[in-house]
Every structure is written in C-alpha cells, then in structure tokens.
C-alpha cells in the first residue's frame, strides 16, 4: 500500500561536502536552522563524513561545538550523522574503546541517527559501532554500500540486509555513493529487501549519473520509507536530488510528504546566497557526468583525480587513469568505491599510470589492504598482485579491530592538558596531527579567529601540495614510494574523497 514518504535533508552535511569541499561554516548554518527545523523532515544530516576533520583543519572550528550548536538550534528534528563503521569519521580503523567513547560522546552531544557503513560491506566492521549506538539509545541505521560488479547482486544485498537486521539495526540504508542505481534496479532491490526485512528503508544517492529523482520515484513505488534530498540551492551534480522537486512531484498523491513547499523555496533562496561565499570551493563538475556509469567512480573521487593530475601536469592521462580504476578494483576484490577504499583504489590506479608501470610503487595503505587490515573484500583478491604487495606474509582473517590495542589512555596521555574534556581527547585520538595544533591555537586564545587561521592553513596546505607535486612531476620515475604517496594518495585521503 502507498504510504507517506519522508525525507532526510542533507544541506548541512553531504550537500556542501559534495559541492563545496565541506567548507560551509556553522555560522552560515545556524540562521537556516529555525526554518529547517519547522519542515518536519525525518532527519537532518548535519555531521560525520569529512566534516569532522575539515572543521578543525580548514575552518578553525571545533566539530563537537558545531554539533552542540546545531542540536540547540534544531530542537524538533532528529539529527543524523554518517559513521564509517570502525573508521568512525577517519580513514583507518580505531580500537573498540575509541569507538565506544566516540559514539557515547556523539550521542550525549545531541546525535540521534547513526548511519553506520563499512567501505567493504564487511559487517564485522559495523558490529561494534552498532552495538554502542544501541546501548546509548541512538538509532542504528545499518547501511549497504551499493555498487556494481560481477560479485554484487540484489540477492547478496538482500542477504546483507537480513544480516544487519539480525545484528539489531533499527533501519536499513541503501547508500549509493556514486549515483549508479538505476530506477528499475532500485525498484527490484527495495521490493526484495521489504519482502525479507521488516524495517524502514532509507535510500541515499547522488545525482552524478542523472538517475537521482527517477530512482527515488521508483523506490517510492516499491515502498521505500525515507529518501535523502538536498535543498535545491545545493543539489544535483555530485550532490543529492533536490528536495523541492520531489516534494512537488509527490503532492496530491498518496506518497505526499506534507512539507511546506513555499517555506522550502524560501530556504533555497537563502542557501543560494550562502553558496556564493564558497564559490572558490565549487567542485566544477558538470550537472551530469556519464563517466560515472562507465567507470563507477564517485563524483568526489573524480574531482580529486582531476586536481591531482593537474598538479602533476598529467591531465593527458585522465582517461588512462579512469580505464585503470576498474582493473585495480577487480584486482582488489571489487570493493565499493567509498571512503577509504576509493582513496586506496584511486591512488593505486594513478600511480600505475603516472609511473608508466603497474605496481612499480605500492603505498603502505595498499599493502595494508592486501594484508586484510581494512576487512574482507566482496570477492577474492588477485593472488599475483597480493604477493607482489606483501610477499609471503599471511593476511589476517579476523576482524581487523581485534588486532588493535586499546587507545583511550594513550590518547589522554598524548594530548595532556590541552584537552579540556573527553571530546578534545577524541579529536586527538582520531586526528592527532590536526587536533593538536587546533587545541594549541585554542589555548593561545586564537579560537575566535577561525577565519584567519583557516585562510592561512588553506594557503599553506595548497603551497605545500603544489611544491610537492611539482617535485613529483619532475622525478616521478625515480621518486621513493613514500614521497609519491604523499602527493597522490595522502592528500586525497585527507581531503575526504
């Protein structure tokens, strides 16, 4: 039977992460909050993903303080975050005690819905975060990363949904990070999951391929409960389908959201003015990029690839790298291309092409992947490439976090008196190289000068990148692995591909 459809609004997180390099400041969010809070959204996505480290690195903002401010400004709407499973909001696995503290503090600072995913769809990497979310009274939205490969089928996605339901999920999210899910495929997938799992289903996609709104309509016909949309002023391209378009489309139907379209349009006018402030961070990707359908590369990964190749004066190799990405992905066992697997695959593909020899240089993160420290990929890895990467080492088969020592006490000791509370300790535990100077600046009374600090940080970061990439371009044939990795991989990872 037809039912009212609800929306998760992404304007305060994924929309600006996708289009504006995650640079929207909380001071530009807060004036929008009263009207956003009055709409009646199922949730507002406001935190997680790349927002955490970007706030400290570029904006001079405390991500925990941002969450508290948004919670106060949005008293009537559930707040939602994107949690990278055992990676939390970082790019590697963290020990269970850090996971426990992070989820606990996120919940106490105001988070309601935790969208938990793993880059390899390895549910072992989701189990501990989900357990703690449930313990703390949050909503555990367990997530399937949707992708296309010979090893990804609707039947396997349904099996994963059943497993996640049995693990205690409160709802299931289908996360289509590249905009690959077509309207008729999503119809069949939602129907199949609904037939086996008695939980609400959310659908997340990006407009990169152009499928977005049509995919949502077919998913709604199949019974999806919630869809992710972005306010029209920050929608489409690599962001989500526009909120107002879907609300208007569903009016006078059994699926109608009941949201105030005039108020949404008024919010859009204000968001459009905010967007102008961040014009220098625009991704610059066309409204629809068909490359995503051929190469299955998410928009954020495409934009970073362009940036890296331009810095190395290697834009003539753009399509060569795109051709190489599916080959590397197949050799790695067809991981979904989402943080951090997108960085790992993209970096390896770029190095293979730029250096003119496949696997001439293998970054440490790629070796760790082949050792099993990111989890179990969906399909077997190429044994020849694996041996080239790690030799005769025996890959681990346990849950990767089982190999990690507890980290809380070490983090407290490492940051010392700079930490004024547990939130500060967590910031340091997750991003020590970013959090320490941030907390040092705060201790010096620079916390109120975030705009200046951020501008200086961006300038220095860009200058450092440009210098490094010029060196890489001149000496790529003989450059040591670690040096070239800093250019092609680490920068991309830290920018939140």
231 Cβ contact list (under 8 Å, min separation 6):
9, 11, 15, 242, 243, 244, 264, 267, 268, 271
Q: Say how many residues make up the chain.
A: 497
Q: What whole-number distance in Å separates Cα of residue 168 and Cα of residue 61?
A: 34
Look up the pTM and report it: 0.90
Phi, psi of 228 (to 5 degrees): -90, 125
What backbone torsions phi and psi does residue 287 show, to the nearest 5 degrees? -55, -40
Across the chain, which has 497 residues, the per-10-residue mean pLDDT values are 90 95 96 98 97 96 98 98 98 97 98 98 98 98 97 97 98 96 98 98 96 98 98 96 98 96 98 96 79 80 75 89 95 95 93 96 97 97 98 97 97 98 98 97 74 44 42 36 38 37
CA 349 to chain centre: 20
Convert the pLDDT of each residue in 288-343 to its tens digit.
Answer: 888 788 888 876 677 677 777 887 889 999 999 999 999 999 999 999 999 899 99
Q: Which helix (H) or strand (E) holds 142?
A: strand 139-145
Whether the CB-CB separation of 331 and 343 falls below 8 Å is answered with no
């Amino acid at each position: 039977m037809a039912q009212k459809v609800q929306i998760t609004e992404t304007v305060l997180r994924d929309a600006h992460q996708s289009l504006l390099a995650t640079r929207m400041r909380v001071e530009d969010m807060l004036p929008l909050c009263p009207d956003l809070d009055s709409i009646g959204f199922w949730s507002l996505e406001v935190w997680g993903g790349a927002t955490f480290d970007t706030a400290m690195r570029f904006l001079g903002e405390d991500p925990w303080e941002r969450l508290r401010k948004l919670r106060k400004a949005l008293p009537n709407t559930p707040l939602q975050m994107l949690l990278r499973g055992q990676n939390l909001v970082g790019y590697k696995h963290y020990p269970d005690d850090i996971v426990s503290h992070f989820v606990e503090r996120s919940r106490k600072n105001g988070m309601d819905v935790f969208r938990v995913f793993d880059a390899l769809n390895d549910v072992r990497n989701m189990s501990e975060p989900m357990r703690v979310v449930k313990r703390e009274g949050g909503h555990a939205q367990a997530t399937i990363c949707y992708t296309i490969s010979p090893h990804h089928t609707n039947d396997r996605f349904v099996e994963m949904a059943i497993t996640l339901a049995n693990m205690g999920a409160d709802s299931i999210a289908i996360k289509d990070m590249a905009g690959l899910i077509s309207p008729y495929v999503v119809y069949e997938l939602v129907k199949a999951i609904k037939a086996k799992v008695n939980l609400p289903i959310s659908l997340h996609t990006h407009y990169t391929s152009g499928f977005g709104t049509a995919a949502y309509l077919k998913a709604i016909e199949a019974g999806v409960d919630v869809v992710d949309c972005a306010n029209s002023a920050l929608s489409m391209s690599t962001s989500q389908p526009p909120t107002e378009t879907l609300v208007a489309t569903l009016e006078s139907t059994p699926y109608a959201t009941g949201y105030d379209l005039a108020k949404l349009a008024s919010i859009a006018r204000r968001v459009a003015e905010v967007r102008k402030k961040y014009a220098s961070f625009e991704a610059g990707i066309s409204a629809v990029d068909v490359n995503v359908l051929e190469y299955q590369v998410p928009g954020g990964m495409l934009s970073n690839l362009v940036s890296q190749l331009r810095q190395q004066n290697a834009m003539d190799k753009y399509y060569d790298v795109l051709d190489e990405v599916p080959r590397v992905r197949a050799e790695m066992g067809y991981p979904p291309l989402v943080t951090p697997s997108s960085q790992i695959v993209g970096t390896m593909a770029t190095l293979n092409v730029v250096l003119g020899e496949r696997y001439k240089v293998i970054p440490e993160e790629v070796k760790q992947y082949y050792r099993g420290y990111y989890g179990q990929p969906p399909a077997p890895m190429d044994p020849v490439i694996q041996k080239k990467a790690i030799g005769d080492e025996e890959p681990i088969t346990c849950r990767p976090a089982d190999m990690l020592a507890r980290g809380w006490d070490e983090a407290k000791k490492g940051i010392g008196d700079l930490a004024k509370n547990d939130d500060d300790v967590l910031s340091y535990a997750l991003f020590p190289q970013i959090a320490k100077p941030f907390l040092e600046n705060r201790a010096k009374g620079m916390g109120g000068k975030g705009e200046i600090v951020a501008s200086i940080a961006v300038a220095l970061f860009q200058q450092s990148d440009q210098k490094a990439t010029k060196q890489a371009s001149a000496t790529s044939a003989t450059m040591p692995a670690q040096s070239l990795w800093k250019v092609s991989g680490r920068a991309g990872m830290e920018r939140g591909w």
